Amino acid sequence: MTKDLKERPDTSILLSGQAGQGIQTIQKLLMHALRKEGYHVFATKEVMSRIRGGVNKTQLRVGAETVNCPCSDVDIFVPLTAETTKHLDQRLTDETLIVGEKETFDHERMVDIPFVKIAEEAGNKLYANSAATGFLAGIFAIQNTALEEAIREHFSEKSEEVVAGNIDAAHKGYDLVKEKNVKLPKSAPQPPHSESELLINGGQAVALGALAGNCNVTCSYPMSPSTAVLTNMAEYSQTADVLVEQTEDEIAAINMALGVWYAGGRALVTTSGGGFSLMCEGLSLAGMIETPLVLHLAQRPGPATGLPTRTEQGDLNLALYGGHGEFPRILLAPGDLDEGFQLTQKAFTLADKYQVPVIILTDQYFIDSFYNTPMFDLENVKNQSYVVGSDNDYKRFALTDSGISPRSIPGKGTGLVNVDSDEHDEKGYITEDLAETRPQMNHKRTVLKASAVQEEVQPPTYIGPSDASYIIVGWGSTKKILLEAVERIGRSDLAVLHFSQVYPLPSNLDDYLGDDANIITAEQNSSGQFTKLLEQHTGKTVGNKILKSNGLPFFSDELANELNTLLKEEE
């Protein structure tokens, strides 16, 4: 850690192992045991794109106060494989406590803990993950009841023999902390009083938000990292009134969703960059027939297959400009789990009200990261249907001052609900009247409706002094990382401006950016896609950009160091 930064009060744990070795099991067991004890927990993973082999990593941060973003600092390192990576080596310091089996990972400072031997003594070498979990739980002096509850919950579908064996292995690992006199290089945080909070990840937040938005159909083709939302919706369909359909491809998924909305349902499509590309024709169809659509785009590094299990904010331009022809859209990019829930819920109302596609932009880091979050506020959850009845004179695409035509559905009245992908008149019949109808319809769809959408733009969040000399601007999943980075720098002249709606942008952006403040943007892509959008809308020139596109998220201390250096150069 750089001396210029405030000390981090939490404990950072890094688990490393091959696919199939069970580091995700250790993460889940430890995460839930710590939560039961009253700790705040953050967990995120880094996975190689292969079935087996390579090096996968999981980071947990454990604190007495809220922790909700990754850092590069490592206090405890638990390697389950001899393999390592260059960027992992760079994160270990002389103060890092390294624990594991010396036969597996030979290091001069290794504290040798025989996880496999412990597991075999408990009845099966497969219990090694529980032994490792118990050892880590012992470092934090977690009560045995919390540890046992976590194991019983995780292995609830296994036999009592398996559950008992895992508990025994965990206890044996726990006891080794005292036997080996293992201590952290700094004091472990003490848990606060237990609070009623959720411990979920971004995939769950988006799925729960969809249910809160009265989504009753989810149709998608699996594509990492968006599949987490699809699988969560499938799980929730066991108790909620929602149909989940895995279609044969992405084209079928978006067309099925358009059919659902046409019939009066509320459909969610979830995909990633490559799948979204295949959906662009369907997206344009939504624009032409003016149907609502909610589409979740979980970003990952491209082009093409790219790094399919890594993270990046590289698809803003794709979401903004995807599809042929001109039609308005709304792009939402939640910055935390609460916004993941609230904005997904809101997306269904916005789509219904304005009859436009609403795209929710997340990324692998957001979707796969867990942390404590307060119970979602349901007071603001208001679902309103804008579907109207029809009569014999019904005009699906009636010209209106707002550009929004009355939307009916088949069977709700006596009128014909006629839609067509070709240019059409007010009743939905194909036309090639270039002198009058085409200009009127195009103006209605683009200019008038875009003006209506502009009236309900969500403003950005400004955190910091009103007269800040420097403003760091971010969007989407970087919100919590930006906030922690700025907090660790501790400057009184630095503020954060975060956008959870990235299009359309507020018309009064200058009110947030100020006249004299130096603007710095931070994005997880290589070209500064949002920076260019910001400059286009404001006419301002962004002085400095902090960009990262190697497939890893920003680490809070990494960003703080880079930002701190940049600010000193500016002074």
Structure token pair of residue 328? 């308005």
Q: Residue 206 in contact with residue 296, Cβ under 8 Å? A: yes
Long-range contacts of 418-423 (CB under 8 A, 24+ apart): 419/262, 419/289, 419/291, 420/289, 421/285, 421/288, 421/289, 423/288
Contact 89, 98 (CB under 8 A): no
Rounded Cα distance, 392 and 316, in Å:
43
Residue 194 pLDDT: 55
Q: What is the CA radius of gyration of the chain?
A: 26
pLDDT of residue 7: 87
Q: Cβ distance 201 to 370 under 8 Å? A: yes
Which pTM value belongs to this model? 0.95
pLDDT of residue 522: 98
Q: Please give the C-alpha separations between residue 290 and each of 271, 352, 408, 440, 571, in angstroms, as whole numbers.
A: 21, 10, 12, 15, 51
Per-residue model confidence (pLDDT) at position 280 = 98
Q: Which of 213, 121, 211 is nearest to 175 (CA)?
A: 121
Peptide bond preceding 303 in cis form (omega within 30 of 0) = yes
User: Which DSSP symbol is given to 445?
Assistant: I
Per-residue pLDDT of the chain (571 residues; tens, 9 = 90+): 455 788 889 999 999 988 888 899 999 999 999 998 889 999 999 988 877 778 899 999 999 888 999 999 999 999 998 887 667 778 888 899 999 998 888 888 889 999 999 999 999 999 999 999 999 999 999 988 999 999 999 999 999 999 999 999 999 999 999 999 988 777 777 776 556 789 999 999 999 999 999 999 999 999 999 999 999 999 999 999 999 999 999 999 999 999 999 999 999 999 999 999 999 999 999 999 999 999 999 999 999 999 999 999 999 999 999 999 999 999 999 999 999 999 999 999 999 999 999 999 999 999 999 999 999 999 889 899 999 999 999 999 999 999 999 999 999 999 999 999 999 999 999 999 999 999 999 999 999 999 999 998 999 999 999 889 999 999 999 999 999 999 999 999 999 999 999 999 999 998 888 777 799 999 999 999 999 999 999 998 898 999 999 999 999 999 999 999 999 988 7
Confidence at residue 81, expressed as pLDDT on a 0 to 100 scale? 86
* Per-residue confidence (pLDDT) for residue 106, from 0 to 100: 82
**Could you count the other beta carbons within 10 Å of the beta carbon of residue 227?**
19
Instruction: Quote the pLDDT of residue 20.
Output: 81
- CA-based end-to-end distance of the chain: 23
341 CB neighbour count, 10 Å cutoff: 29
The conformational region for residue 181 under phi > 0 = left, psi -120 to 50 = alpha, else beta, is left
Name the residue among 69, 561, 9, 523 with its Cα closest to residue 312. 523
Question: What domains are there in the chain, each with its CATH number?
Answer: 11-179 (3.40.920.10), 199-374 (3.40.50.970), 387-456 (no CATH), 461-570 (3.40.50.920)
8 Å CB contact between 297 and 344: no
pLDDT confidence of residue 54:
80
Among residues 361, 373, 344, the alpha carbon closest in space to that of 206 is found at: 344
DSSP 8-state symbol, 100: E
